[in-house]
A and B are shown apart, each in its own frame.
Chain A
């Protein structure tokens, strides 16, 4: 993993070429992979989300005979398996936040910008490694949660789904694709702005989940005019968790726009601020 790997950068560096984006990317990846916390987050994210989904599937199987009609109507062999995402999402938030704040708390951020004063480049490279690792996690957890639940549903005689159906993989893919921007990148941007892990995690969780938690008590006009323009709410319509007819429902293109505007807007703000602020 370390000293024995032969690097190709030695060849170019002898000619004193300036390091490009690839060099920064490689450096940021080394930072992320060389601390144990990263791998604890990855394994907990995968383990807890799949494990929790299996547990919910088991609970569904054990209790489904006593369900009333409303609960029975809510059961969905695809979306019910997504319950473990709660853990996956928390760990994506932690990943996005700590990739930034661990450098502020250790004051290593100064070394980062002494080594490479091009701050946009460092920002972009960090964004890229967090995105890639985040996608790697969701690509395992989302199908994993689905696949681990189906045999349990089948065993208890509940409705099952096949991953080969477009009605199955469609929502799964949209969950994979929206979870990373929402739960890793928005917290990543917030972390650059706030520079502290505790505050960034708290603000991220509040921003992403408060609307969802307040949902039952808010009047419809708030849901229609405010909530549905929030990134997490919009993502839920994309993945089919929020159904047509709900006050928060947005059609696909506006929902994609809402998520994109929030994510890009916050990232651009964070990059702008980073570039102007003293380290």
Chain B
């Protein structure tokens, strides 16, 4: 369980993280979403006690990270997989961490095996690919077999197979009852993995909802029509309560009516249709809209405006 209360980090007058209040619960994968540069990594660093919060608190299992004595058994973190000394072997990179955490040496072999790096264990990490760095970082996080896992952009640089592997891993950890907290700037990634999402825009929390709720609320479906006589169709659609917008000359975008109804109207009026399709707003678009709004709120209503979508 990770609990943040009014968590704020300011650099001079700019707030990188602004009054975040949330809980990350065990047994599910919680996604932490936001465009790049909106405070996800800063939040992660605050959780891990690397940076000191300007205001507010954040605890892991009830205690501030810096008060912990054996954090590796409690929380595993991947924040920057390229932050390794290139001249050290993968084995020794994990060994010094295991030793610092008071963990047995055989954990190093276990996690190397778990992430599939056993064969390159003695190789210097400087020669590792992006994907191998990512695997090594995940191995570090798993060393203490911790109940809380925190991953900053875990699929960055992974090939499709690697992405699938991380997804399965995250799902498995959650199923085992662990707290899994993953940040990402890629909506599509979360759609496949997360049960719950926290959306952050400009350092503020703009949504704290279940994934299904998030998708339901965000999906503005509309119907796309292409017809050589599209102008003739508009009054008939509007008469039935639809909201019609024009695209390119022959194209219409309709909200408020579903595709079968529109098809029936066109048939009654004898207007030929070249295309009739339901467009579901992508989660990506919904996400952009949501975070865009948060920026506007901030500009319009000053720093006191808060959660727009909670």
Contact = CB atoms under 8 A, between A and B. Distances in A.
Nearest to B126: A106
A111 B73 CA distance: 15
A70 interface: no
B220 interface: no
Contacts of A2: 89, 91-92, 95, 122
**What size tier do the contact residues of chain A reach?**
35 or more
A34 B73 contact: no
A114 B91 contact: no
B87 interface: yes
B97 interface: yes
Contacts of A35: 85, 87-88
Contact of A23 (B92, B99, B105, B109): B99
A37 B87 contact: yes
Contacts of B96: 27-28, 30-31, 34
B63 to A, nearest CB: 11
Given A9-B102, A115-B71, A107 B83 contact: yes
Contact of A111 (B68, B95, B97): B97
B127 interface: no
Contact of A115 (B80, B92, B97): B97
B103 interface: yes
Nearest to A5: B105
B50 A113 contact: yes
A2 B112 CA distance: 14
Interface in B183-227: none
Contacts of B100: 19, 23-24, 27, 112, 115-116
Contacts of A6: 105
Interface of A: 2-3, 5-7, 9-10, 12-14, 16-20, 23-24, 26-28, 30-31, 34-37, 102-103, 106-108, 110-118, 276, 278-279
A-B pairs, 10 with minimum CB distance: A19-B102, A10-B104, A27-B100, A107-B83, A34-B92, A27-B99, A18-B69, A278-B51, A30-B96, A7-B105
13 contacts: A3-B109, A6-B105, A9-B99, A13-B104, A28-B96, A31-B92, A102-B85, A113-B50, A114-B49, A114-B50, A114-B79, A115-B72, A117-B48
Given A111-B97, A278-B52, 5 more contacts: A13-B103, A19-B100, A20-B102, A34-B89, A114-B49
